[in-house]
Structure 1
């Protein structure tokens, strides 16, 4: 059954980093043309197919895909099947743009493949449940769901099929295991790429998309974690030996990386925590 909820938005709601504007469920999508754009929108294709026109491009939107539209961007969308059923959420907030572009790495409007569409459907239902409930601070609770929606965009969507951060993370799992087991050994990009069957360059791209950091930053983080464990488990072991066991050939470089991570030298860390 088609449902729609349009909350009353107060000035205090507009101060929230993310806030709900309206939501629709099982909507038989009509032809929409907005030459001046609108607010931020997530439109999930539930049944049937549609097309999106934005930034001079036309995208087909099939079941299990979604549209993300940025605020103020001209767009048009319409059904190309007899009916096009969608769920949609319209939202805004002073932190939305920064989160999408800097954290999620989504810089423009377009169509996304969704690896877990049921998770997004649950967000729409959760907002409608809040609307029906007799609870205080509904706008704050909806704000938390909008934030969760955007983290889901980061984890479960991608511009290519089966290329979401969650799927990529599964592909990288053997690599994480290999790094953990061999952290004391020299680790080359070529050896790491061979484990994943990616090229070295593609591995760097996939790893950054999945984790948000470069691969050797991650390796250094694991090595620092191991060194912290050894500093506390072996209070009489020399720092130079711990550096070697954690995979650092140069103790001075180890101390430099450690201090950058912990804001303390290895000796200071041991003294404070032991």
Structure 2
């Protein structure tokens, strides 16, 4: 599944069951999570290593065994370090259609009157045996193919009840009104970069879209995404390059040009910076993994 823009619009899961599971390691094109947003809910579980999650204007350090919950509509991204992690992304409609509308707690979460605690560390999860068991059961169900909608929906309902029973929520932590205008401006910038990554992008153009001075724009952009505009643009370019390396027979120079790099040497150097390997090494490794069917099916692009 590829994103058409930085707001994810794709349908998820199977017909009538909008949920998808993803496994990500260093060979996944989206291993380094480009800041984006969608109208779905998301759970991120760290299997190994370290992951810095950028959620709106707050950064969280995650490690093995930690869980993150991402509400709908919030800009989020992340930096992985020797990390393997899993994501479950699902539409609120999945729950809305299954007798949740009469659940007062769910309605408050759905309408942003309450926020589920965004980060639960491994040590905290250990305190809640029922929560941990339900979480493990949920991930065991979504890893299987084909998906079992009834079992997964039951796990999600149980997990939500565990949040409520253990009081793992607060009054809206991420106020919809707080900084809404500025956040919407940055969303427009992210969309512009996603659409024009293969062309020259200037700081002046991005600042103009955000209706901010270049200096203030740079500061706010980094506050919200955890990256400078230049770093973010390069990450998007390298992500697109990974997809091209997997999908077609273009040579390195052609892929570099397709991603907005005019020099193959600079492209290779930048690629190594973000993937810790050369484009050629990445292509050979992913081809080998696919041939040996060593990559879980859902490791392919979101």
Interval containing the TM-score (normalised by the shorter chain): 0.3 to 0.5
Relative contact order (C-alpha < 8 Å, sep 6+): which is higher?
2
Output the TM-score relative to the length of structure 2: 0.40
Output the TM-score relative to the length of structure 1: 0.44
State the structure with more CA Rg.
1
